[in-house]
Amino acid sequence: MALITFSSPMHKDKTVYAVAGSHTQTILDLAKEHHIPIDFGCQEGNCGTCLVKVSSVDGKRRPMGGPLNVREVAALTELGHITKAEIEQMYVDDIPPTQWRLACQMIVRDEDILVEYPSK
Ligand code: FES
């Protein structure tokens, strides 16, 4: 099981267990399940409302996560949180090139992560 810690300057930190390996549960699904108030809109990866910052708990490496999907690439590009070079490198490394993620698109993996919200 992965430990996911949600942190916000406006709320008390909350750490929850995620059932890793489901390959379907998003950060937003997990937040909603535990009543963690991450803003969201479309839930389709289009609006960027659910932008969060994701990092490894130890802070020593980028979280594995999964590579960004097409919708996440488009939204993060529009929001100015990812460059074309970072996108190209992502396809080589097969890991996300940035800590910025869309909570409705990032699938929980078997790793302990810190999710910071709101993103602004
Ligand atoms: Fe719209 Fe996540 S809720 S991009």
Name residues whose C-beta falls within 8 Å of residue 29's C-beta, 6 or more positions apart in sequence: none
Q: What is the ipTM of this complex?
A: 0.99
Chain segment 62-112, per-residue pLDDT in tens: 666 667 899 999 999 999 999 999 999 888 888 888 889 999 999 888 888
- Ligand 1 touching residue 74 (CB < 6 A): no
Domain boundaries, the chain: 2-116
| Residue recorded with tokens 């490394």 | 93
For residues 36 and 115, give the distance between their C-alpha atoms in angstroms, rounded to a whole number: 11
Does domain 2-116 match CATH 3.10.20.30?
Answer: yes
**CB 107 within 8 Å of CB 68:** no
Pick from 76, 81, 99, 78: which is nearest to 7 by CA? Answer: 99
* pLDDT of 56 higher than 80: yes
Strand partners, 2: 18
- Ligand 1 touching residue 27 (CB < 6 A): no
For residues 107 and 18, give the distance between their C-alpha atoms in angstroms, rounded to a whole number: 10
Instruction: Give the residue whose CA is nearest to atom 4 of ligand 1.
Output: 45
Residue type, 37: P
Chain segment 13-50, per-residue pLDDT in tens: 888 877 766 678 899 999 999 999 999 999 999 999 99
Q: What per-residue confidence (pLDDT) applies to 63?
A: 64
